[in-house]
Amino acid sequence: MGISDVDKLRILMPHWIEHNHSHEAEYHKWAAIAREQGQVEVSELISKAISSMKEADKAIEQALQKIGGPSGANEQSHDH
């Protein structure tokens, strides 16, 4: 018997949150670089994207809690 779709979500959602967190520092770095280069609007838009991503993480976390929290099998790797 295979893994259910709900169980797959319980594995995937923590990964999605971790994935977003893994990029956050880089986004901050590039927002600062854009600002230093006089690209204030670009910097502000990157910062807005960071805030939106944090809101998305909150929604994913809430969804994860609604389906019973993370599965013990969420140690799957993901390469970039």
80 inside domain: no
The pLDDT tens digits of the residues spanning 8-34 come to: 999 999 999 999 999 999 999 999 999
Query: Shortest CA distance to 67 belongs to which of 1, 11, 17?
Result: 11
The pLDDT tens digits of the residues spanning 33-71 come to: 999 999 999 999 999 999 999 999 999 999 999 999 998
Is residue 73 over pLDDT 60?
no
78 inside domain: no
33 inside domain: yes
Range of the domain at 53: 10-66
Number of domains in the chain: 1
pTM over 0.85? The answer is no
pLDDT of residue 2: 86
53 inside domain: yes
Cβ-Cβ contacts under 8 Å for 23 (sequence gap 6 or more)? 53
